[in-house]
Amino acid sequence: MDGQHIIDRERLFGAQNYAPLPVVLSHGRGAQLFDVAGKRYIDMMSAYSAASFGHLHPRLVKAARDQLERLDIVSRAFHSDNLGAFCQELAEFCGLDACLVMNTGAEAVETAIKAARRYAYDELAIPPDTAEIIVAHGNFHGRTTTIVGFSDDPNARRGFGPFAPGFAHVPFGDAGAAERAVNPSTAAILVEPIQGEGGVIVPPRGYLSDLRRICDRHGILLIFDEVQSGFGRTGRDFVWMHEDARPDGVTVGKALGGGILPVSAFVARRALMNVFTPGSHGSTFGGNPLAAAVGREAIALMREEELSARSARLGAVLMEAIEALRSPAVIAARGRGLWVGVELDPALARGKDVCLALLRRGVLAKETHETVLRLAPPLVIEESELLEAIGALGAALEETAAARAG
């Protein structure tokens, strides 16, 4: 069946909750993907960081296969032989004490919200059902009803209310505004240390460490959502490590599953994790043996292949190559490590048009908010592949600008 028939069938029988580019992918390795006709593409998106190790990394595939030869899933009504080791290795990798393993990033954030609220009532003496969590404008933490309730993206919110109360919004990157929002009902500050869906928005240096000091001063929790930014994406294992702003809790996911299957977790200080008691939270698939096996191998790969350092080195190459394009269609390029947002001049280039022009040249990327091109290739990408993709970007920008001018 050709690609168009596959697309048509998906449109007929699937929900239209995404607007994918017109390409049907069938196989891949590393930073390369191939469509049903055999055309090669360089992956500059890595499934929003879920494929940070590239596609079908042989060690991750082996870990999954080896586990599937022994045991797939058991209920958390019983113990499995690798969950404890996974939790220890993940907690140590995150610089914290304990884990609650789930499946998706949104589940991890929901878990963090529940933990912060119960901690507020049990430990901070906040009256029941009054706890408030400070969040940032422009946030993206997932798509559950609770989470979209504190988003300010109208497309994410429309038609899904009523929404849960208990969230206060402040400008992202403004630590002073966050402190002014603290009140006797405040339980926590919850932010993405870099806003990905918002357009790879990097806050001012010192913002994260300022939030840490604010939370310490007021005796409240600091929780970072590193589902997309963690595991080396920005050139450190986690963004908070750029400023030594260790949080009380962190949400992780995407890359944790190695691109093999969904694995996420809320990782926290022991005192915060202790709010959970039997029956208070859980998931059928959370912490299953297959997920634990793949997650453990993902952590080992991060350490042994020094992927954070690789991201930092190649990130400098990526930024230098974008700046060397000197395209009038580019207003600015911002980011850290292998995570860059290219802000486009809407008079010269629309994000979707640039992505389509890149697609024709064998490069996969996606825009956000119409005017920002997001570049987040697998951390295992070769420098030659990276430069090839940026060369294609230069040609795509020229084509798009010429088409709009004509």
Catalytic residue among 35, 43, 210, 225: 225
The CATH number for 3-55+306-405, chosen from 3.90.1150.10, 3.30.420.130, 3.40.50.2300, 3.40.50.670, is 3.90.1150.10
Tokens 């002014």: give the residue: 180
Structure tokens at 254: 């995407």
Count of other CB atoms within 10 angstroms of residue 192:
26
* DSSP three-state, residue 368: strand
Q: If you count them, how many residues does the chain have?
A: 406
Q: Is the peptide bond before 203 cis (omega within 30 degrees of 0)?
A: no
Residue 73, CA distances (Å) to 33, 56, 101, 257, 291 in order: 30, 21, 14, 15, 9
Residues 6+ apart with CB under 8 A from 214: 175, 178, 179, 182, 189
Q: Are 350 and 384 in contact (CB under 8 A)?
A: no
The C-alpha atoms of residue 168 and residue 186 are separated, in whole angstroms, by 9
CATH 3.40.50.300 given to domain 58-304? no
| Residue extent(s) of CATH 3.40.640.10 domains in the chain | 58-304
pLDDT at 405: 81
The C-alpha atoms of residue 143 and residue 150 are separated, in whole angstroms, by 10
The C-alpha angle with vertex 254 and arms to 24 and 33, in degrees rounded to 5, equals: 30
- The tens place of each residue's pLDDT in the chain, 406 residues long, gives 789 999 999 999 999 999 999 999 999 999 999 999 999 999 999 999 999 999 999 999 999 999 999 999 998 999 999 999 999 999 999 999 999 999 999 999 999 999 999 999 999 999 999 999 999 999 999 999 999 999 999 999 999 999 999 999 999 999 999 999 999 999 999 999 999 999 999 999 999 999 999 999 999 999 999 999 999 999 999 999 999 999 999 999 999 999 999 999 999 999 999 999 999 999 999 999 999 999 999 999 999 999 999 999 999 999 999 999 999 999 999 999 999 999 999 999 999 999 999 999 999 999 998 999 999 999 999 999 999 999 999 999 999 999 988 7
As to burial, measured by CB atoms within 10 angstroms (0-12 exposed, 13-18 middle, 19+ buried), residue 47 is middle
Of the candidates 204, 165, 173, 164, which has an alpha carbon nearest to the alpha carbon of residue 191? 173
Of the candidates 142, 62, 64, which has an alpha carbon nearest to the alpha carbon of residue 103? 142
Q: Are 236 and 74 in contact (CB under 8 A)?
A: no
Q: Are 179 and 189 in contact (CB under 8 A)?
A: no
Q: Is 140 a catalytic site residue? A: yes
The C-alpha angle with vertex 315 and arms to 312 and 321, in degrees rounded to 5, equals: 150
pLDDT at 19: 93
User: Three-state SS string across 303-365, please?
Assistant: HHCCHHHHHHHHHHHHHHHHHHHCCCCEEEEEECCCCEEEEECCCCCCHHHHHHHHHHCCEEC
* DSSP three-state, residue 159: coil
What is the identity of the amino acid at 23?
V
Catalytic residue among 35, 43, 254, 353: 254
Residues 6+ apart with CB under 8 A from 156: 143, 148
Adjacency order of strands within the sheet including 40-43:
25-29, 32-35, 40-43, 363-364
The C-alpha atoms of residue 303 and residue 94 are separated, in whole angstroms, by 12
Residues 6+ apart with CB under 8 A from 78: none
Catalytic residue among 53, 86, 93, 140: 140
As to burial, measured by CB atoms within 10 angstroms (0-12 exposed, 13-18 middle, 19+ buried), residue 282 is middle
HSE-CB for 89 with a 13 A CA cutoff: 18
115-151 confidence digits (pLDDT tens): 999 999 999 999 999 999 999 999 999 999 999 999 9
Question: What's the alpha-carbon Rg for the chain, to the nearest Å?
Answer: 21
Count of other CB atoms within 10 angstroms of residue 177:
15
Q: Are 380 and 57 in contact (CB under 8 A)?
A: yes
Phi, psi of 306 (to 5 degrees): 50, 55
Handedness of CA 272, 275, 281, 285 (dihedral sign): positive
Q: Is 254 a catalytic site residue? A: yes
The C-alpha atoms of residue 81 and residue 287 are separated, in whole angstroms, by 11
pLDDT at 404: 85
| Residue extent(s) of CATH 3.90.1150.10 domains in the chain | 3-55+306-405
Q: Are 188 and 247 in contact (CB under 8 A)?
A: no
Q: Is 86 a catalytic site residue? A: no
14-46 confidence digits (pLDDT tens): 999 999 999 999 999 999 999 999 999 999 999
